[in-house]
Structure 1
Amino acid sequence: MMLLTSICLMAGLAIAQESPITIPIPTPGADTSITGATYPYIAEITGNDVYVRSGPGTQHYPCGKCNTGDKVKVVGEQLGWSRIVPPAGSFSWVSMRYLCMDLKDRTQATVTGDRVRVYAGSESVEPLHSQIEQIRLTRGDRIKLLGQEKDDYCKIEPPAGAYLWVSTKFTRPTTGSGLSSPIPVITDANSAAPDANKPAVVVTPPAPSTETKQLEAYKLLEARIDAEKAKPVEQQNYASIKKGLTAIANDKDAGRAATRAGFALEQIERFELAVRAAKELGQQTEELTEILDRIDSAKTARLETVKDMSRFAAIGYFEKSNIYGPESSMKQYRIVDETGKTVCYAMAVDAAAGRDLSALLKKKVGLVGKITASSTTGGALIKFTDIEEINP
């Protein structure tokens, strides 16, 4: 129902050319083929499951049923068919593009075009194929909405002047119906031959209009759009669909089909934008994955070249220390940090005690040994058995 609000903007458009079937309507009150009948009058239905049809004949689609005892208002007769006011439950269709919904009462709408066609509604016939025209509405007419929208049509209560048809042989006038003499009840379909002096009225359904054909073509394309949308984004391709929609949108006789095709093309533009964005994102993801792989490879290679530092008791810059005795007999050292602050003291033992360590002085080294407490300094003393230079 919310679609009607935006449709008001299209009120100035001319009514699309369609090919409805128009049923000739006798003037109310005039004499008809039933002797003595003056219209309108009330009739009673005399059978069950009697079809109410969109036109005077079985070739017209049904719009409902009546049963024995139902009352109908008859306003005319044609070739054994009674034209009646639509009974309760009947409905009609009208194009939504010519309606403006009443914002205060959403069951009401105003007609925004001139000579807007109203079609007989049927539960068994799609609005698109409901081509029996009942009446034409004028700009400013008010109609009652029944809440359903389908194929750009809105279901409405049949307006005044819209009629349906029922076989006269299943009707009987009620008492005081306004007839000067009873209407003959036709009990056999072949018992009442038409007047030979009257030309037979034959209603032939017209060939499908360009609009109808293009609407059918649009529905096929719409199904293809849904099929493409169901595919993974990277597999979607709308090129051929766009070509078909463009042809419909450019057809000046396509009416509603052209409007729908235009909307569909706009949707496809958004779909294709999403496809491009997804592809670009995929490419960026692949590039990022490659970069991360290179980083991981470089990190692994770097780690392979870095020595295992966990085996060292201390790491720092190697210097002499005379805190434990005179310089001539000194075998003690200390480890300092980058600022020259002492980290710990060190004493070469075992294999390290006999080595010449002068080449390692002032260099960054790692000591392998045991950490003990120094009784002299109260700090840490490492008795190292091995020393190794560490390249920065």
Structure 2
Amino acid sequence: MSARLILVTVLAVAIAAPLAAQQVQLSPPEVENARNSFIGQTNTAGVLVRSGPGDNYYPTMRLDKGAELTVVGIRFDWLKIVPPEGTMCYVSKLFVDRYGDGSAGRINADDVNIRVGSSIVNQKTAVVGKLSAGQDVKILGEEDEYFRIVPPANTYVYVNRKFVDPVRALGPVAVSEPRGRTRAPQDQGGQTAGPASTQPVQPPSTQEAAVAEAEAKLEQLLQSEKALATSAWEQVPVEQLLADYKALADGGLLPAAKQAIVADRLAKLPALLERKQRSQASEKASRDAADKLKTLAAEGDELSERLKDGPKTYVAIGELQVSTVQLGGGQLFRLVDPESKRTVCYLRGDPQKMGATGRLVAVNGSQSTDRRLGDRMKLVDATEVVEVDRTQLYEKVVAEMMPVSLRRTEAQVSTENR
């Protein structure tokens, strides 16, 4: 062999080696099918389907919100799904013999790579399965050295589980041969003995009974939720539902697909519980407020009866003074204790109606507060201002707000009641 030929061979190997390594990295890992599958539905628009279980695998297509998917396995946060409609796969033309009208082809070699394509990026490097000699494929078109084909059986793609809500459980997932072992079994004479077994894996009988019990419990919980969908809050046992779902999750008996349903309910029920608790707290506050109003109304009625033939009631009594405080450019007055001069309340009204300051007056009007006057200080919009005499207090006039120096002592009350 000449030196030149040896050099060319070495260069070819050096170039091919990293390319081969790159192809291995681009192919998704083997993800086992779950014992049971389920139907999921995308919960947002623009969900990316990827060629492998991770964000580092290229996207193959986008899904609209509400698209239904068949989930057959789970790997961490990624769901293994049957390729949705519109998924494209590719196989090398070298290993396909067309027949009929050209829309079908037959594989002419073993271990032929199935590559998944993309409607988003120009890639078709991820190997998602193998074909054996004699298998048929449906041809959709040609692209470079590949035929574009309908995804064969036992090829899968992936979607992030946070974008999929479980809808309903399906039956057992057929156990397929590992990737690269799709050739049909042969009998001793070398003839094809029939398709590979697709019976679900059967657990031991005791385990099967426990799994069946757990699955029945899950179905019961799901049916209970549906029945309670229109019930009043107090009739929805969210706390018990959470406890039951948690028990199923901790038991670890459910197949992966149904565990995903349990995980979904455990993720969503706490928000429902919070809503229930807020609703109950709001209802209790409303009941308490109604009871308080009834109590106040009863007390008011009792007071009205007691004061029906008694003295006239005013909002406040005190010595009238001009205030140095101004609100909105208007002049304020204040009622003070005749002895301590401490403010009883502030007044707002027509200065002409207020009259001379320094007098003991009784005032009626609506009450309010203003933070600029202090949180506890009342502001009265005076509609009635009358001068009173101290001798009239408690016999002809009383007030809600009285100066300390004008309040009756217990001894005075006792003397007056004799």
**Shorter-chain TM-score tier:** 0.3 to 0.5
Query: What's the TM-score, normalizing by structure 2?
Result: 0.36
* Structure with the largest fraction of helix: 2
Report the structure number with the largest CA radius of gyration: 1
Query: What's the TM-score, normalizing by structure 1?
Result: 0.38
